[in-house]
Structure 1
Amino acid sequence: MATRDPRIDAYIAKSAAFAQPILEHLRSVIHMACPEVEEGLKWSMPFFSYKGAPMCMMAAFKQHCGFGFWLSGQVVGDTAEDGMGQFGKLASLKDLPPKKELVAYVKKAMVLNETGVKPARARVEKPAPVLPDDFAALLAQKQHAAARKTYQDFGPGAQREYVDWIVEAKTDATRRKRIATALEWLAEGKSRHWKYQKC
C-alpha cells in the first residue's frame, strides 16, 4: 500500500477553500485506481508516480486547479484546454470528468508506465537558413567549390551557425572577415564550432 506524502497534505491545506475538495478528490481517485502510486513534489506541485516514472500531477492556483497526465497524448488524446493539464481550469468538482472516467485514465497511464512508454518530444524542423547575398555570391565562385560542397552537405543547423555568425557582425569589416574565415573553414570541411568539437 502506498503511503501519503505529508508535503501533499500541507499543499492541499494551504490551497484556497474551493481547491481543497478538488485536490482531495483527485488524490483519492488516483490512490483508488493505483494503490502502488508514489507521491511527491516536483516543481512545487503534487506529482504521482508509478513504477518509478511520473504518471500525473495536480496544482492549485488562485482561481482554479489543474490536473494532467505525464503522457497526456497517449492517455486522454490531444486536448486544447485552457489551463494546466488536460481538463481545463477546474473551479469545482463538477468540472472534473466522472470518477469512473478518471479511474480509466489512471489505469491507462499505469499500463503506459509499466510498458516503459516515454513522452513524445515534439521536434520542430527549422528550414535551411537564407544565405546572405554577399556570402552566396562568394560560395558560387569556382575557387570556393570545396567550401560550397561542405556547406551544402551540412544540415540546416550547421548551415545556420555560419549564416547567423556572419549576419550578426556589427561592422562591415567584421562581416568581411567572418565571411573569409567561413570560406576557409568550409573549404577544410570544418563546422562553425570545430574548435570545440571532440576529436
Structure 2
Amino acid sequence: MAVNSVEQYIETHPYWGKELQSLRTVMQNTELEECIKWGAPVYTLEGKNVAGIAAFKNHCALWFFNGALLKENTILLHNAQEGKTKALRQIRFEKGDKIKPEILQKYLAEAIQNQRKGKEIKPVTSKELVVPSELKDALKEDNDLEKAFQQLTKGKQREYANYISQAKREATKLSRLEKIKPMIKNNEGLHDKYKNC
C-alpha cells in the first residue's frame, strides 16, 4: 500500500505511533516542509532533504540526510550501516525512551544551517555505466526500448542496470527485466513512484 500522508504513515506503524507523533511535532516546530518520499515522512528546506522520521522493527528514528556534517551535535547520532552509509545519520529511539524536543531542536537547527550554507555530501557513483548482459540483449532486440533507454538520465540508466545486476538468480534477473521494460518505455525512473515531493 502506497503511503500518501504522514498521518497514514503513522497509522501503518501503530507500535511506534506515539513516538512518531512526538517526532512529527518536533519537526513541525521548524521551518522545514513536510512531505512523503520513499514511503516515509521527509522534511525539506527549499526542496532539499534535511531530515526524516521512520519506524523500524526495534526502534524508530529521526534521520539527517547530511548528518555526517553535524559537528556541534553528534553524541546521539548513529550510522545505520557502518562502512556503507556516508552521509546519513540517525537518532534512534526504543520503546519507552523519552523524546526531548529541546535536544532534538539543536540537531535540527545545525542541520538546517548546514543546508542553508549549501553543505552536503555528494554520493560517490561510478562514472562508467555497466549494463548487464540481460539488459544489453533486450535493448538489441527491441529498438523502441533501446531508444527509450538512451533518453533516460544517466542516473535512471544506472538504477535499472544495478537493479538487474543485483539479482542473484538468472530467473530473478529476467523477471526484473520484464517488469522494467514498460517503465523504461514510459521514461520513468525505477524509484519515481516513491518521490512524492
What TM-score results when the alignment is normalised by the length of structure 1? 0.49
Instruction: Identify which of structures 1 and 2 has the higher relative contact order when contacts are C-alpha pairs closer than 8 Å and 6+ apart.
Output: 2
